[in-house]
């Protein structure tokens, strides 16, 4: 049986311990509870326990849950198709997965129509895996320059998905690389603060390497 409160407290405690190990304030790490396979009633129960930020991967499921719980902060964390942008805006606080020019064009277009500013993270494929979306690290500077020409898009940081491995320590270099990229480009773009990295399998290592947002699903909802 799902023990939501116990799972939540364990994750919060693990985040705090990881932050403290490297001299960080645990409050500098935002927990996004990933509700990909979770029903609306369970999401509402999680909200009642104090979870305020939720992440969704699929547009259709996301719209249904946002409608049921509009007072929560919703993050879109999956691969976003350009023709679904109008369905995602304006209900989401942050889009984690901006990864190509055509998507930026669609976000700019619809944000202008809806008179919105869209907060985004740029997805970077630091591992180089062909199965993952995201810009190659060397593509990032030119892409950031392009985003600066779009007045409705607000780049807030970077996101990555690490390889799935048996031992979390194996992905530390990927998280470190993303942090180094953020630090490098935030010199010219001070708004580029966030690092969305780390999931159930590896979030403690991600926090040690500077994650400001971790995306946790099964550690909470199983």
| Distance, CA of 131 to CA of 129 (rounded, Å) | 5
Cβ atoms of 87 and 59 within 8 Å: the answer is yes
Of the CA atoms within 13 Å of residue 72, those in its CB half-sphere come to 30
How high does pLDDT run on average in the chain? 95
pLDDT tens digits for range 158-207: 999 999 898 999 999 999 999 999 999 999 999 999 999 999 999 999 99
Q: How many residues does the structure list for the chain?
A: 222
Q: Which domains does the chain have, with CATH numbers?
A: 4-216 (3.20.20.10)
Each residue of 95-149: pLDDT tens digit?
999 999 999 999 999 999 999 999 999 999 999 999 999 999 999 999 999 999 9
Q: What is the pLDDT of residue 62?
A: 86
42 close to 2: Cβ distance less than 8 angstroms = yes
Per residue in 57-101, pLDDT tens? 988 888 889 999 999 999 999 999 999 999 999 899 999 999 999
**Residue carrying structure tokens 């919060």:** 12
pLDDT at 63: 84
Q: What is the pLDDT of residues 26-46, one digit of tens each?
A: 999 999 999 998 999 999 999
Identify the pLDDT of residue 1: 46
Rounded CA-CA distance 134/157 in Å is 13
Asked if residues 118 and 92 have their Cβ atoms less than 8 Å apart, the reply is: no
Please answer whether residues 206 and 214 qualify as being in contact, where contact means their C-beta atoms are separated by less than 8 angstroms: yes
* Res 2 pLDDT > 80: no
Q: How confident is the model at residue 19 (pLDDT cuts 50, 70, 90)?
A: very high
Tell me what percent of the residues of the chain surpass a pLDDT of 70. Answer: 100
């Amino acid at each position: 049986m799902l023990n939501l409160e116990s799972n939540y407290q364990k994750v919060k405690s693990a985040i705090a311990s990881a932050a403290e190990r490297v001299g960080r304030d645990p409050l500098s790490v935002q927990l996004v509870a990933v509700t990909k396979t979770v029903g609306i009633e369970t999401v509402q129960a999680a909200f009642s326990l104090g979870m305020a930020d939720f992440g969704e991967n699929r547009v259709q499921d996301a719209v249904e849950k946002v409608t049921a719980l509009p007072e929560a902060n919703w993050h879109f964390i999956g691969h976003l198709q350009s023709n679904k942008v109008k369905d995602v805006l304006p209900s989401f606080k942050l889009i984690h997965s901006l990864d190509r020019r055509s998507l930026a064009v669609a976000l700019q277009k619809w944000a202008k129509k809806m008179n919105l500013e869209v907060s985004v993270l740029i997805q970077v494929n630091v591992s180089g895996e062909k199965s993952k979306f995201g810009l190659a690290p060397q593509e990032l500077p030119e892409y950031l320059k392009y985003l600066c020409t779009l007045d409705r898009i607000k780049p807030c940081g970077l996101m990555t998905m690490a390889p799935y491995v048996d031992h979390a320590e194996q992905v530390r270099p990927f998280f470190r690389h993303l942090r180094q990229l953020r630090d490098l480009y935030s010199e010219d773009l001070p708004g580029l603060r966030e690092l969305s990295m780390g999931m159930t399998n590896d979030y403690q290592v991600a926090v040690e390497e500077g994650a400001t947002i971790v995306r946790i699903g099964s550690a909470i909802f199983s």
